[in-house]
Amino acid sequence: MVGRRNTGIGWITTVLTMFFLVVCPLYASGVELPLTGESAVLIDAHSGKILYEKDPHKLMYPASMTKLMTLVLAMEALEEGKVEMSDVVTASENAASYGGSQIFLAPNEKLTLKELLLGIALASGNDASVAVAEYIAGTHEEFVRMMNEKAAELGMKNTHFVNCNGLHDPDHYTTAYDFGRLGLYALRFPELLELCTVKHYRIREETSNPFQYDNKNKLLWQYEGTDGFKTGWTSDAKYCFTGTCERDGLRFVSVVMGVPVKSGHFADTKVLFNWGYSQYVFKEFYPENEPLGMVQVGKGVKEEVKAVPEGKVGATVEKGNEKALTTVVELAEMIDAPIKEGEVLGYVSVMRNEEVIERTNLLAGEEIDKGSWLMEFKKMLRVVVTG
């Protein structure tokens, strides 16, 4: 059933009522899962709500999970046009000196930025991480400053980085909650997920010493829908993993830390994902960019502009509890040109009774320039003639 009402404040409201079972709030009340790790979170990626947590604010060492922040800053540099995947990066003596998990860079060796990023995402190269950090920021130290700045921006209040690769330092720490926030932010970059899903990659093919990266994320083989992010291990951190998985439109971000046994970080993540998919479902109402209405344009070269959702419109709800959800679309009655593409024109809310569960902005689907005085005169004349 479609209804229409005037809000009295210049908004047109369309109510689309869907008949589902009652929606329950998103939290894991009283649930205890058989996890071996010291700390964990499972997050609904659509809403950002925590579905399950175990001591999520406990200070822990992130080990090579750190490299997820390194990859995120690289994605930002790519997005801003500061670097290109095809850029040739020359490894410094400093970068080549890093041991542990590595891609065995030699001083002055040249690899593309893409090859180095794959060396981080797959092989967890400590040397590759420093090479990328130096290329983007000039020095490793400046890159670490950028990491901490981004952590603060993302609300990672209990995180402090000392390096870009996660080699142990007592002052290099975080929490499962904070890395959950980082994982949610990392989903903004499709190219990062593409890197993280590559299982094997070979470099130095034209040399006498070719080398193959093998992805350390074994859930790519073991758990359908997994497409990120980053593993970690040191003797101090134990095993840890920040992951993400999507099935039937429902995406989770997971973090497990302080797991004492080999491969236990994967086992714990499977427990989290299995529980999440057994309990929740994502109900989609409208896909991203599907027009949900038209807004009248004043003083423009066009008389109307489409309103499209900023992202897919839906809600994550407990299975069997989807009754009486409604979507409410609220749009400005009129907006004067010029209008920028992506300008907010209103919003669409997913409702349970009178409660707003999710709210998504509705954006202008195109740019509308301001019309000339002659165009406005012709519009007025047309109104007079047609009555």
Measured distance CA(49)–CA(331) in Å, rounded: 27
DSSP state of 341: T
For 24, the token pair is 């329950």
For 52, the token pair is 């399950």
* Residue pointed to by tokens 């406990």: 58
Helix, strand or coil for residue 32? coil
The shares of helix, strand and coil residues in the chain, as percent rounded to the nearest 5, are 30, 35, 40
DSSP state of 154: T
The H or E element spanning position 258 is strand 250-259
DSSP state of 109: -
Measured distance CA(137)–CA(145) in Å, rounded: 9
Residue 372, number of CB atoms within 10 A of its CB: 11
Helix, strand or coil for residue 167? coil
Q: Which residues are catalytic?
A: 64, 67, 124
Alpha helices in the chain (DSSP H): 67-79, 93-96, 113-121, 126-137, 140-153, 176-186, 190-197, 219-222, 264-279, 373-386
Give how far Cα 385 sits from Cα of 78, 296, 301, Å: 55, 20, 20
Helix, strand or coil for residue 6? strand
Half-sphere exposure (CA, 13 Å, Cβ side) for 138?
Answer: 3
Q: Are 15 and 2 in contact (CB under 8 A)?
A: yes
For 264, the token pair is 């236990």
